[in-house]
């Protein structure tokens, strides 16, 4: 069964880590991709790699905190491929620290990207999905959206918000009969650039040690994205937790 073939899928945070791995995985299975992140050079090289293997991908430099950038992705999907079938709201930041460090700029950045970025993506795609009475919205929350741990308080808050928004979206869509599906993914330690952007030194050292000990390749999360997208139209698999077998929390 391949329900991914020819689906037009927008991926935010496609320039590295989980988003990049999802781009390659979905392209292999015949999806037509719209790749989004801020680093255009990275997107270009990923799109070129996909095209070199016979896949289809376009890209656009995007800041998910800007509503108009999200709308432009939907327009790009329609102009390049004629429609949009799914969006993977994956862009995120994790510059964690204890609240007492008062890294308020990082608190705001996480709220802007991890929460408002997801809402902007939903707002951009929802009118199209409602009108066509189909569409799939996937989002990357985190195990931090299921637990709270010291040093990760604000990040956890943003990822709990993603869980709540996605569950509300699922229920509202079902009640409205729009046939829109949702999937929320809760990864634990996965290889990516996420930890590189932590500025608080002791937090950074702790995370680095955890990730070096446990992390699994981003492709494992891409497998879950593909599994969710591949389900038949009448089936919504709404939540997935995925992480290293050995990670003890
Ligand atoms: N790795 C893990 O262990 C893990 C665990 C649980 C959840 N997650 C979540 O997984 C998602 C992907 O992260 P990752 O682990 O793959 O880390 P990553 O390699 O750092 O990827 C983050 C992606 O988000 C993009 N991004 C950041 N700010 C953006 C903005 N304002 N506008 C558009 N794109 C933006 C980055 O691209 P640019 O810098 O080019 O914009 C990059 O493509 C995040 O939501 C993260 O919270 C990761």
Q: What is the mean pLDDT of residues 104-116?
A: 98
pLDDT of residue 114: 98
pLDDT band at 106 (very low <50, low <70, confident <90, very high): very high
Q: Partners of 34 in the beta sheet?
A: 10, 58
Q: How far is the CA of 93 from the centre of ligand 1 (A)?
A: 5
Question: Is residue 185 lining ligand 1, measured as CB closer than 6 Å?
Answer: no
pLDDT digits (tens, 9 = 90+) for 2-34: 999 999 999 999 999 999 999 999 999 999 999
Question: How much distance in Å is there from the Cα of 230 to the middle of ligand 1?
Answer: 23
Pick the closest to residue 240 from 200, 194, 185 (CA basis): 185
Residue 211 bears catalytic tag? no
Pairing of strands 8-12, 239-242: unpaired
Q: What is the mean pLDDT of residues 78-103?
A: 98
Ligand 1 center to residue 90 CA distance, Å? Answer: 6
For ligand 1, say whether the CB of 19 is within 6 Å of any of its atoms. Answer: yes
Instruction: Inform me whether the pLDDT recorded for 77 exceeds 90.
Output: yes
Q: What is the largest CA-CA distance in the chain?
A: 51
Verify whether ligand 1 is closer than 6 Å to residue 158 (CB atom).
no
Contact by Cβ (8 Å): 185, 220: no
Q: How many CB atoms lie within 10 A of CB 68?
A: 10
Domains in the chain, ordered, with CATH?
Answer: 8-240 (3.40.50.720)
pTM for the model stands at 0.98
**pLDDT confidence bin for 1, thresholds 50/70/90:** confident
44-53 pLDDT, tens digit each: 999 999 999 9
């Amino acid at each position: 069964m391949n329900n991914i073939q020819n689906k037009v899928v927008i991926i935010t945070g496609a320039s590295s880590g989980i988003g990049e791995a999802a781009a390659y995985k979905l392209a292999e299975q015949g999806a037509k991709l719209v790749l989004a992140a801020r680093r255009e050079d990275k997107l270009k090289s990923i799109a070129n790699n996909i095209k070199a293997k016979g896949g289809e991908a376009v890209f656009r430099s995007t800041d998910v905190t800007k509503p108009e950038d999200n709308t432009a992705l939907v327009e790009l999907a329609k102009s390049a491929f004629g429609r949009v079938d799914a969006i993977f709201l994956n862009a995120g930041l994790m510059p964690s620290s204890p609240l007492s460090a008062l890294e308020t700029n990082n608190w705001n950045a996480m709220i802007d990207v991890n929460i408002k970025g997801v809402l902007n993506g939903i707002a951009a795609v929802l009118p199209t999905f409602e009108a066509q009475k189909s569409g799939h919205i996937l989002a990357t929350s985190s195990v931090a959206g299921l637990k709270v741990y010291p040093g990760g308080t604000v990040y956890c808050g943003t990822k709990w918000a993603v869980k709540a928004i996605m569950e509300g979206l699922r229920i509202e869509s079902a009640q409205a009969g729009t046939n829109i599906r949702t999937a929320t993914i809760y990864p634990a330690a996965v290889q990516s650039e996420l930890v590189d952007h932590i500025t608080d030194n002791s937090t950074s050292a702790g995370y680095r040690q955890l990730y070096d000990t446990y992390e699994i390749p981003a492709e494992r999360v891409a497998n879950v994205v593909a599994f969710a997208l591949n389900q038949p139209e009448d089936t919504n698999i709404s939540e997935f937790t995925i992480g290293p077998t050995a990670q003890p929390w």
